Amino acid sequence: MERKVVSLQGKELRTIELSDAVFGLPINEDVIYYAINNELANKRMGTASTKTRGQVHGTNRRPYAQKGTGRARQGDYKSPIYVGGGIVFGPHPRDFSYVLPKKVKRLAMKSILSLKAQNGTLAVVEDFTVETGKTKDFMTKIQALVSAGKTERTVVILKDDDADIKRAGRNIPWLSFLSYNRLRAHDLFYGRKVFLLESAAKELNEFYADK
């Protein structure tokens, strides 16, 4: 498919060929769901913890005599039925991460890129950089591409790790940067706008091409 390459002022400059094998696939919602869930699971700390009755600090003395009171027998105050007692089936530290097959990941990324290309939220932008690394200069450059007064979640896909651009935009809460070979399904899917640099578009055509 052909897409227009726009300047930072929003003007059409030329056309670029985007691979149908990357940007023109049918949307596979299942693999997108799997990829996003995998990323969220891998980010979980897994440090939630509770104490069982064997770990709770307290006495082992019976609260009252076993016989003669007419009440149900009790072992100690660390029983789960008492306030401050142990927790039954509570969470313990664990690792939530798991490995997703590479083919599923690749298909998920291509499905999201196809979705963004088809619903019009993806724009191919001419290459640029911010030599000063300042947020003010970065916003001045992209202000024509960003809706005035709106802070929609925006993703910029770079060809490589441009330190100047990332430094200029790292303190903008609604903006995230991705490299073409290290895409994140969650950021990409929930981005209301996706700016794909022209050089990154050419790399994506080759990186996600069917092998």
Dump pLDDT digits (tens) for 174-199.
Answer: 999 999 989 999 999 999 999 999 99
- Mapping DSSP to helix (H, G, I), strand (E, B) and coil, where does residue 209 land? coil
Tell how strand 193-197 and strand 154-158 pair up: parallel
Give whichever of 4-8, 104-108, 156-160 has the largest mean pLDDT.
104-108
pLDDT surpassing 80 at residue 202: yes
Confidence of residue 10 (pLDDT cuts 50, 70, 90): confident
3-class SS at 22?
Answer: helix
pTM confidence score: 0.84
148 pLDDT above the threshold of 70: no
Q: Residue 150: which pLDDT band, with cuts at 50, 70 and 90?
A: low
Q: What is the pLDDT of residue 208?
A: 86
Q: Is the pLDDT of residue 8 over 90?
A: no
Task: Please check the confidence at residue 211 and state whether its pLDDT lies above 60.
Answer: no
% the chain with pLDDT above 90 = 61
Tell me: the pLDDT tens digits for 24-76? 999 999 999 999 999 999 999 999 999 999 999 988 899 999 999 999 999 99
Angle between helices 29-43 and 102-118 (to 10 degrees): 120
- pLDDT band at residue 158 under the 50/70/90 scheme: very high
Domains of the chain: 2-30+100-207 (3.40.1370.10)
Residue 131 pLDDT class (50, 70, 90 cuts): confident
From residue 201, how far is each of 2, 6, 129, 183, 209 by CA, in Å?
Answer: 12, 13, 16, 13, 12
Q: Which of 140, 150, 110, 138 is nearest to 25 (CA)?
A: 110
